[in-house]
């Protein structure tokens, strides 16, 4: 068995995951759907523990940058507009302007993430983005730590199922 095959076999093993979060596997060694299934099957306590281990990584920031890009420029305009129409008559330009105002002067960090998750206007867009766009972005992007990103995506999806998980997201406060 060569190195790639052994990395593939161990890539989504839960015990190996905890100890190898910081290691970078070759892209061919990661089976995204297998990892997503593995992370989705974790119970709530287990996923919170694993999420807290990758809390300091840039995965959340990368996901938020992609979401911002999805809303403001590259997202499917028809989808964004139809989701917004369910909440009231709004065009794509209005949605983008509202999101710009919502995100203006905010850094894309854990506090912004919590704001998006709790937002009545944008949480539904974020949930749609997580379900349908993130996997393509991971497959097509140049992401160094795919496992962290996948784990964060699954955790965020679970936040929509159980809003108590939102409180587990650590928000850092500015020092005076």
Confidence at residue 77, expressed as pLDDT on a 0 to 100 scale: 76
Range(s) of the domain holding residue 132: 58-169
Residue of 10, 14, 25 lying closest to 53 (CA atoms): 14
Determine, yes or no, domain membership for 19. no
Could you tell me if residue 101 is inside a domain? yes
Residue 155 lies in a domain: yes
Q: Whole-model pTM?
A: 0.76
163 is a domain residue: yes
Q: Is the pLDDT of residue 80 over 90?
A: no
| pLDDT for position 173 | 63
20 domain-assigned: no
Residue 94 belongs to a domain: yes
Residue 9 lies in a domain: no
Residue 89 region by backbone torsions, left for phi larger than 0, else alpha for psi between -120 and 50, else beta: beta
Q: Is residue 47 part of a domain?
A: no
Instruction: Count how many domains the chain has.
Output: 1
d(CA 4, CA 31): 12
pLDDT recorded at residue 176: 56
pLDDT (0 to 100) of residue 66: 92
pLDDT tens, position by position, 109-160 = 888 999 999 988 888 889 999 998 898 889 888 888 888 999 999 999 999 9
């Amino acid at each position: 068995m060569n190195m790639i095959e052994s990395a593939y076999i161990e890539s989504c093993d839960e015990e190996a995951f905890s100890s190898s979060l910081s290691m970078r596997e070759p892209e061919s060694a990661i089976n995204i759907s297998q990892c997503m299934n593995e992370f989705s099957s974790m119970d709530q306590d287990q996923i919170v523990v694993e999420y807290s281990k990758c809390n300091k990584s840039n995965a959340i920031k990368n996901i938020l940058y992609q979401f911002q890009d999805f809303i403001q420029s590259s997202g499917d305009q028809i989808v964004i507009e139809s989701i917004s129409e369910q909440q009231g008559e709004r065009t794509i330009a209005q949605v983008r302007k509202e999101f710009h105002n919502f995100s203006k002067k905010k850094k894309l960090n854990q506090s912004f993430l919590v704001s998006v998750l709790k937002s009545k206007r944008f949480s539904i867009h974020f949930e749609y983005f997580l379900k349908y766009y993130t996997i393509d972005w991971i497959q097509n992007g140049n992401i160094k730590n795919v496992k962290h990103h996948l784990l964060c995506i699954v955790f965020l999806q679970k936040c929509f199922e159980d809003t108590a998980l939102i409180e587990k997201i650590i928000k850092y406060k500015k020092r005076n």
